[in-house]
Amino acid sequence: MANLVKYPHMQQRIVDEITRVMTVSNKGEKEEVQEEDLEKLPYLKAVVLESLRRHPPGHFVLPHTVTEDVAFNGYMVPKNGLVNFMVAEIGRDPKVWEDPMTFKPERFLNEDGSRVEGFDITGSKEIKMMPFGAGRRICPAYNWAIFHLEYFVANLVWNFDWKVSNGCDVDLSEKLEFTFEATLMKTPLETHISHRI
């Protein structure tokens, strides 16, 4: 949501995309964006994926241990050695992502923007980002979480216009909160919200 407040053209593109697939009821009321509508909203999905890449809620997965000595890329990880993964760094690797620090949802879309293309969040073919981990211990709720992110962002933006508060800017810098193992905004988001008619 912070990126959609900072970049109003992205917020508007989601609204336009929803407008194309939604109907207004015969009472003139807006319908709620439903689960079955979400698959017709590729730009919305791209925004959610880009958020998970650029601002993964956890910068690490749960710690794992190796059950035997493992030689990997010239390193030896001894049996029972604790291994963690730099989730945020993986998603911001300039060797893999062009202009990685820029919030650019289009990177997940095909050329004409009609679908999310060539990307597998489970990392079963290749790992370019892993906000939910990867492999056997991947977050079992990853599909559920993505569905809820799409559902909430769609309805929040469809019903309300989110703008920066007077005199404020959106600061996207992060702070790690080890108590909850989560990443929070260093400066909490302040917005002005009005009903979208």
Q: Point out which residues bind ligand HEM (CB under 6 A).
A: 57-58, 61-62, 131-133, 137-141, 144-145
The residue of the chain with the least Cβ separation from ligand HEM equals 133
| DSSP run (H or E) holding 158 | helix 142-159
What gap in Å lies between CA 138 and CA 29, rounded to an integer?
Answer: 40
Beta carbon of residue 184, minimum distance to ligand HEM (angstroms, whole number): 14
What gap in Å lies between CA 140 and CA 115, rounded to an integer?
Answer: 25
Query: Is 139 known as a binding-site position?
Result: yes
Nearer Cβ to ligand HEM (15/185)? 185
Beta carbon of residue 75, minimum distance to ligand HEM (angstroms, whole number): 19
Residue 157 backbone zone (phi > 0: left; psi -120 to 50: alpha; other: beta): alpha
Residues 6+ apart with CB under 8 A from 171: 185, 186, 187
Beta carbon of residue 94, minimum distance to ligand HEM (angstroms, whole number): 22
Nearer Cβ to ligand HEM (15/138)? 138
In the annotated binding site, the residues are: 139
In the annotated binding site for heme, the residues are: 139
